[in-house]
Amino acid sequence: MKITIVYDNEVKKQGLKADWGFSCFIEGQNIPPILFDTGASSSILLHNMKELGISPSTIGIIVISHSHFDHTGGLQGILELNEDARLYLPASFYRAIPDRNVVKVKDACQICDNVFTTGELRSIEQSLALKTDKGVLLVVGCSHPGVGNIMDAAAEFGTVYGIVGGFHGFSDFARLNDLSLICPCHCTQYKQEIMKLFPQECLDCGAGLVLEL
Ligand SMILES: [Zn+2]
Ligand SMILES: [Zn+2]
C-alpha cells in the first residue's frame, strides 16, 4: 500500500500549499483509491491533488475521521467532482449528504481488503487500520479519542507497528516505544519532542510526503 499526504500544516514538495488541516490518499492492490479526510479548503485540496496527479473522479472511498472543519472543509469540492464514491462518516457527522452512498460508522468494521475502521471512538472520531505484511498501520485525523485508546482499539486487527496523522495533545510518549513507523502530522502539539525521542522511527510529515508500506 501507498499513502500520500495531500493536505497538512507543512509542505514537503514544491508547488503544494500548506494549510491547517489534514488529508491523505491511500492506494493499494485490489482496493479502490481511498481519500481519508479532506483538509479545510476545497481549493487547496484540489490544488494539491492536481499537483500530485490524483484525479478526484478516481476516488472510490472517502473516509471522514471526524466533523471538525480542518478535516471536512474540502469534502464539498470533492463531492461536486465525484458522485460515486462511497462515504464512511462517523455516526456523529454533522450533516446529511443526500443521494450518496453513505455508511454511518459506529462500530469497528471492514471497509475493503485489508482496510478497517476502528469505529467511532469516544463519540467523536474514527481512524483507519491498514493491514500490511509488517502489521497494522494506523491512519488518524486528530486523535481526539487519544492515541493510546486508538491503538488499543486497533489491536483487534493485529499488532500495530506504525501511526500516521494528527496526534493532537498526545504526550504519553512511552506508548510509541514499540512502533517502527511514526509520522506525526497536522495538529500534533509535541511533534518536535516525538521526533527527538524517536529519530529512527519518525518521518517528517508534510503535504507531498509518500509512505510506501
Ligand atoms: Zn479535530
Ligand atoms: Zn484537525
* Grid cell locating 127: 481512524
CB 206 within 8 A of CB 10: yes
Mean per-residue pLDDT over the chain, rounded: 98
The predicted-structure confidence for 64-112, as pLDDT tens digits, reads as follows: 999 999 999 999 999 999 999 999 999 999 899 999 999 999 999 999 9
Centroid of ligand 1 to alpha carbon of 124 (angstroms): 9
Sheet (strand 135-140) strand order: 109-112, 115-117, 128-132, 135-140, 160-166, 181-185
- Strands 102-105 and 86-90, sheet pairing: parallel
- Give 163's strand partners: 138, 182
Q: Report d(CA 205, CA 143) in Å as an integer.
A: 16
192 burial via Cβ count (<10 Å: 0-12, 13-18, 19+): exposed
Centroid of ligand 2 to alpha carbon of 166 (angstroms): 7
Question: Which numbered ligand comes closest to the C-alpha of 125?
Answer: 1
Centroid of ligand 1 to alpha carbon of 211 (angstroms): 23
Q: Report residues near ion ligand 2: CB below 5 Å.
A: 70, 142, 187
- Strands 23-27 and 34-36, sheet pairing: antiparallel
- For residue 75, the surrounding DSSP H or E stretch is helix 75-81
Q: What is the pLDDT of residue 16?
A: 98
Q: Does pTM surpass 0.85?
A: yes
Question: Which numbered ligand comes closest to the C-alpha of 22?
Answer: 2
- Secondary structure (H, E, C), 42-61: HHHHHHHHHHCCCCHHHCCE
The predicted-structure confidence for 16-57, as pLDDT tens digits, reads as follows: 999 999 999 999 999 999 999 999 999 999 999 999 999 999
Q: Report d(CA 64, CA 39) in Å as an integer.
A: 10
Grouping H, G, I as helix, E, B as strand and the rest as coil, residue 199 is: coil
Q: What is the pLDDT of residue 42?
A: 98
Centroid of ligand 2 to alpha carbon of 86 (angstroms): 22
